[in-house]
Chain A
Amino acid sequence: MVESNVYFTASLASLIHDIKVGKIVGSYSISQAMLNHFLSTLNESQWSTADELMTIVRETGRICENALPTEAILGNIVRRMLKIIREEYDELNMPQEQIKQTDDSQAASLQKLVTQNSEKSVEKSDYKALYTDLRENLITHLTEIENELHLSHDNLAQQASQHVHSAELILTLGYSKSVEKFLKSVPKERKFEVVIAECAPACRGHLLATSLASSKIDSTIIPDSAIYGYMNRVNKVILGTHSVLANGGLRAASGAFTVALAAKHFSVPVIVLVPMFKMSPVFLFNYEQEAFNLVGSTQSVLPYNTPVSQQVKAYSPAFDYVPPKLITLFISSAGGFTPDYVYRLLAEMYHPDDYNLTK
């Protein structure tokens, strides 16, 4: 079954297990758990040089991707982790260029992007050198990231006032923590209505609807079939997503495609809320690509004791792919950007060498 692997520690196993069995749910808490795991790895596991650490992390990432291919976030956290290891190392490695380094990383200039490859070819650091205070730096940096994660939803929510005006009719789909916070943090004096497609079979839309209603936002629940019918009165679509692909497409709850397409048809703007850690540098080649789509229980679609249940096939896919051209705007904790810009953000967040963990 699983090749015995030195990096496949018991703690990692239990982490994966908990996610798989559903003890840890929701991208936020998952990434939380992952970060904690790395924090402990930093402290406990045996590593001296950055290189060793990176191998550990990379292996961890590989195992995770094997175990839970649908949880893109794990991979992202890993990439992020690798990235910061590189940064910290470089900082220590070339103190004389520290200034350059920093202003590069801050004003991530186009020039850097262009020269990146050449840079690497010039001095490709092997991360072999020993630095005593690397560990501390990493830990501090990691905690920073953790805070960033904590704030990600709030940062998103703060921008609500810039995007929702009064007397709007907003359509959304299913349940998304970020969407919930976003809509709730719209200034109270702006009266607006929300239409929620329930997103069968899980119907997590109900959850969103009730929670919005409880904070006095008029919310209407419609079955997924009524999306098109409603769309031509809607004047904004706000979606959450499971993850954003490298081309700016979405892997979102199934039904998202319908929503986006209908919005396109009536040229309603589609806004996607995406906390930074949901951006993954993965491309979708075809719909049946490795575990792009997770197909759920047949029971949820068709009861087992229907007369014909043995002869028919029934699927309940969990995700939809939404092509970038159907998306008007992404809103991340950093601000708004268009699908075309995703690659750029990715380049800033992750190191190009880490894009593909399972190589």
Chain B
Amino acid sequence: MEEIEISKKAAKRRRQRAKRKDKIRDSKPIFGEMESQQEKSKEQILAERKAKKAAKKQGNKKEETPIVPPLAAAVSAHSLLPTKTENQSTSVNVDKEIKDVQSEKPKEAEKKSREEVLAERETKKLAKQAGKKKNVEVAKDDENKQQSKPKEVEKTNSDTDLAQKMEKLHITNKENEKENKPQTPDDKNPEKGKPMTKAERRALQEAQRAAKAKLMAEKNKPTTSSTGSSTEKKIMIDKKETKTKETSHKTASIISQKSSSLHKVRLFKHLYTEKCNFNIKVNSSFHPAILKLGAQYANNAVVGCNSRCYAFLRAMQILIKDFTTPSEKVFYRALESEIQKSVEFLHKCRPLAVSVSNALKYIKLIISQENSSDSDDEKKGRIIDKIETYAHEQIETAARSISLKVREKISDDDVILTFGYSSLIKRTLVESWKSGEKKFSIIVVDSRPDFEGREMLDSLAKEGICCTYVFINATSFVMPKVTKVLLGAHALLANGYVMSRVGTAQISMIASFYNVPVLVCCETHKFSERVQTDSFVYNEIGDPNALVVNKNSMKPYEHLKDWESIPHLTPLNLRYDITPPELVTAVVTEIALLPCTSVQVILRVKPSE
């Protein structure tokens, strides 16, 4: 919208400019002494970035508003969306910022520039989830209320020549500084109940300006060519910009944490990861198979250790098949680096499962062995075959032998409790039921939010096994009848801890309270030499919104519906937890029934290492 308004306001602005000029004059003396050299430079950077912005804006105003008003509108709306969230997300670090403001005044300006960067970062992130944001209007008009002044300032830039802009912008920043100096006292005031302190509002303004800046930056490519404003200036501006960029890079890490600490549990800060968006990745150099796999991982289309491992191996085979050694490169080096690259991408999509990383290790191993002199195709053929056999032995055969081992352990009229869905467990139970010598019943324990147990329940009940289904908090209700607990595992850690779907630990805990034997089924390719003693260090965090929907009535829980708008409320959706060895009676591997503690032994004899 603004873009359109601008033209109308042009005249009005000229008048205001005059006013502002003399306002600035009397503002100057107040500031004079405070400004130290280094912040001057900062000012410079800011100023120029503003200038650039302005230039862009001009460009936009030239072609976009007349030709495609809808787009313009969209753009403006886009720029608005984040602001809604802004006032939450910034609110947190505002206080901190304020402190600095009064403590070391001189640093202020720099702080501000960081603030800018931060905000810019923020908006970039938030723009993605902007879709969710409701009541844009609200955000919009309170924005209009609050930042009318600075906006106008900005707009003035758009239709005055660059030189003027420079100093004026220079001044604008000063104004902002002046603004926030008197603010600091009433920011310190205790009552936090007030929805938006001035400081926050300023943060908001900053954010919005930043948001605009961001937008323009995006506009940059299309518009530059046609921008009327002189290009050589542009170049130097770009130079400057890069400078700011790298400063931003410095600060980014800290900031992004500070700013988005909202709705993140302190204990798990280290686990929150940016969801990588694919529109960037698609045009990248990755092999399509990898991209596909990545997407599958990220959207939980492929879940469960084994299937993930499978998918990975397949993808790798395709990758290798299509791989051609670039000139003047050694085959296996090139291939390895190629794989490395794509694996990193996959890791971004979703942290690699232990099984996958083991498989990766193996692949690397066999590749590194392929340094013989025969042609690439032969090598590739060999590698692919080896991968094939790996998949077959490590997953297929292992599963078979495990299911046989477990079948021996199942006795008549057993009541077997299992948790969630595990391909291995399902297979085992179904096979031993089909074999027909044993009659047993099954209790499937399940938990929100994913209800993986439903799949298990269906597939077992279809076989005619008599099943009982309870939620995990009712485990103690059924446990007294249970004779065996059969659990799947995500990984088996070197210190004998079992890493598995969250909830596994407490089931085995209750089981051991009732003295029910707990068997964990785990193929050796899931063994990992990582050691870990709690579920915090290494874990994954699922989508918190999954907790909000009630899968039975397909409605969201009314209390949690708008958790994002409640600052102190945080749903946490952990993926894994780890079970200490003392709660596990035995681990069933394709090699043997073992106590958890003898994982190291296996690890030593594992072929893949």
Contact = CB atoms under 8 A, between A and B. Distances in A.
Classify A-B as touching or not with yes or no (CB < 8 A).
Answer: yes
A313 B476 CA distance: 16
Contacts of A213: 566-569
Nearest to B473: A255
Contact of B477 (A200, A227, A261, A315): A315
A308 B457 contact: yes
A314 to B, nearest CB: 4
Contacts of A201: 471, 552
A216 interface: yes
A315 B473 contact: no
Contacts of B59: none
Contacts of A53: none
Interface string B476-496: 111010000000000000000
A258 interface: yes
B351 interface: no
A308 B448 CA distance: 19
B323 interface: no
Interface residues of A, number: 57
Interface string A178-219: 000000000000000100011111010011011011101111
A210 B566 contact: yes
A312 interface: yes
A229 B502 contact: yes
A224 B473 contact: yes
A226 B572 contact: yes
Interface stretch (B30-38, B504-512, B585-593, B598-606): B504-512
A166 interface: no
A311 B265 contact: no
Interface stretch (A61-69, A119-127, A157-165, A293-301): A293-301
Interface stretch (B136-144, B325-333, B338-346, B460-468): B460-468
A302 B469 contact: yes
A300 B552 CA distance: 7
A257 B476 contact: yes
Which of B457, B476, B573 gathers the greatest number of chain A CB atoms within 10 Å? B476
B569 A210 contact: yes
Given A219-B570, A315-B478, A226 B265 contact: no
A259 to B, nearest CB: 9
Nearest to A299: B552
Given A223-B547, A313-B468, A306 B458 contact: yes
Contacts of A257: 476, 510
Interface in B419-458: 447-449, 454, 457-458
Contacts of B470: 301, 314-317
Contact of B557 (A197, A203, A287, A316): A203
Given A201-B552, A312-B457, A317-B477, A221 B571 contact: yes
B502 A210 contact: no
A307 interface: yes
A303 B555 CA distance: 13
Given A216-B568, A301-B470, A308-B461, A320 B550 contact: no
A325 to B, nearest CB: 11
Size range of the chain B interface in the assembly:
35 or more
Contact of B570 (A198, A220, A300): A220
Which of A206, A207, A293 gathers the greatest number of chain B CB atoms within 10 Å? A206
Contact of A203 (B461, B506, B550, B566): B550
Interface string B556-600: 010110010011111111101110000000000000000000000
A222 B572 contact: yes
Contacts of B568: 212-214, 216-219
A200 B447 contact: yes
Contacts of B454: 302, 306
B394 interface: no
A197 B448 CA distance: 11
B3 to A, nearest CB: 39
A312 B469 CA distance: 7
B474 A216 contact: no
A258 B570 contact: no
A208 B574 CA distance: 20
Contacts of B469: 301-302, 312-315
A254 B577 contact: no
Which of A198, A224, A228, A302 gathers the greatest number of chain B CB atoms within 10 Å? A228
A190 to B, nearest CB: 15
Contacts of A227: 506
A257 B473 CA distance: 8
A262 interface: yes
B472 interface: yes
B362 interface: no
A229 B536 CA distance: 8
Contacts of B468: 312-315
A226 B577 contact: yes
B96 interface: no
B559 A229 contact: no
A220 B572 contact: yes
Nearest to B542: A223
B574 A226 contact: yes
Interface string B250-278: 00000000000000011100000000000
A261 B510 contact: yes
Contacts of B566: 210, 213-214
B475 interface: yes
Interface in A104-132: none
B388 interface: no
A311 B465 CA distance: 9
Nearest to B444: A312
A221 B572 contact: yes
Contacts of B447: 200, 223-225
B503 interface: yes
A115 to B, nearest CB: 41
A23 to B, nearest CB: 20
A302 to B, nearest CB: 6
Contacts of A265: 509
A311 B461 CA distance: 7
Which of B513, B569, B577 gathers the greatest number of chain A CB atoms within 10 Å? B569
B505 A228 contact: yes
Contacts of B569: 209-210, 213, 219, 221
A219 to B, nearest CB: 6
B572 to A, nearest CB: 5
Given A201-B552, A313-B469, A207 B559 contact: yes
A258 B577 contact: no
B552 A229 contact: no
B357 interface: no
B409 interface: no
A232 interface: yes
A177 interface: no
A17 interface: no
B476 A316 contact: no
A45 to B, nearest CB: 41
A37 interface: no
Contacts of B267: 233
A231 to B, nearest CB: 9
Given A203-B448, A225-B447, A229-B576, 6 more contacts: A193-B266, A223-B449, A224-B473, A225-B503, A301-B470, A313-B469
Please list the 4 inter-chain residue pairs (A to B) with the smallest Cβ-Cβ separation, ordered nearest first: A225-B503, A255-B473, A229-B577, A228-B506
28 contacts: A200-B472, A212-B568, A213-B567, A214-B568, A216-B192, A220-B571, A221-B547, A221-B570, A223-B502, A223-B503, A225-B506, A226-B502, A227-B506, A228-B577, A229-B576, A229-B577, A255-B474, A258-B509, A262-B506, A299-B552, A301-B471, A302-B469, A308-B462, A314-B470, A315-B470, A315-B477, A317-B470, A320-B476
